[in-house]
Amino acid sequence: MNRALNQIKNTPRVQSPGFYGFARAVVSIVNRYYFHVKVFYEAPLPRRPFILAPTHRSYMDTPLVGSVVKEPLRYMGKIELWNNPWLGRLVELLGGFPVDRNSTDRSSLNTALATLRQGNALVVFPEGERRSGDRVENLHEGVAYLALKTKVPVVPVAFYGSEEIMPPGSKFPRPARVRALVGHQIDPMDYLNKSGVVSKNVSRRAILDMTLDLMRELQRLYDEAKAL
């Protein structure tokens, strides 16, 4: 990683709630009338802080999240977005901060932990990158680690139909029919308490168990979203 990107990672990220509200209003209109997004909730969203963990089939999944949660959110964004300074600044105003997906990114991890401890909601795509097809598998363990470390719940979300918005080779988003199914929260305390002892350190077993349950839940939600 070059020096410029290192400097970006070490610069404080400042979100603009006013700009976020304006952008979300515009995005919500596009989501509703162009992508025909409908959101279904199996349970109310928990109080903040929480981690929103959506499936990832399209570049448009991030703006689709704006139809799920009304309040400002923080996002992890791939650091390549900051190769364009104007785009990077726009992402920051909307609540994004960079993460290097090709390494163990301690800086971004610490930013994510601080974001949750400050009482914010954080969006993390557990698949890590865009996937294709109907299988939800091989999740990254970052969502579980963050949840277990901060003791905040994870809210799984499945987007069905977003893959049709920008299929391979397309240069402009197409009209689609997207269904979002928001599942019940996954409580990290259920995994921390399994041994009967809650430690400051997060066990490897707790991370693996929570990640596996999140994968199963996302698969269930994705399958059920097809019929909505």
How far is Cα of residue 200 from the mean position of the Cα atoms in its chain?
25
Domain limits at 161?
Answer: 3-225
Half-sphere exposure of 117 (CA within 13 A, CB side): 10
Q: What is the CATH number of the domain that holds 208?
A: 3.40.1130.10
pLDDT at residue number 12: 46
Amino acid in position 156: P
**pLDDT tens for the 228 residues of the chain, in order:** 444 445 444 444 556 678 888 889 999 999 999 999 999 999 999 999 999 999 999 888 989 999 999 888 998 877 787 788 787 778 888 888 887 766 666 778 888 999 999 999 999 999 988 898 899 999 999 999 999 999 999 999 999 999 999 876 777 889 999 999 999 999 999 998 775 555 567 889 999 999 999 999 999 999 999 999
Amino acid in position 165: I
| Peptide bond just before 49 cis, omega within 30 deg | yes
* Structural domains of the chain, count: 1
| CB burial readout 56-78, b (16+ within 10 A) else e | bbbebbbbbbbbbbeebbbbbbb
Q: Tell me the H-state helices in the chain.
A: 3-9, 17-33, 61-65, 85-93, 106-117, 142-150, 189-192, 204-225
pLDDT at residue number 221: 98
Amino acid in position 158: A
Lookup result for tokens 């799920």: 68
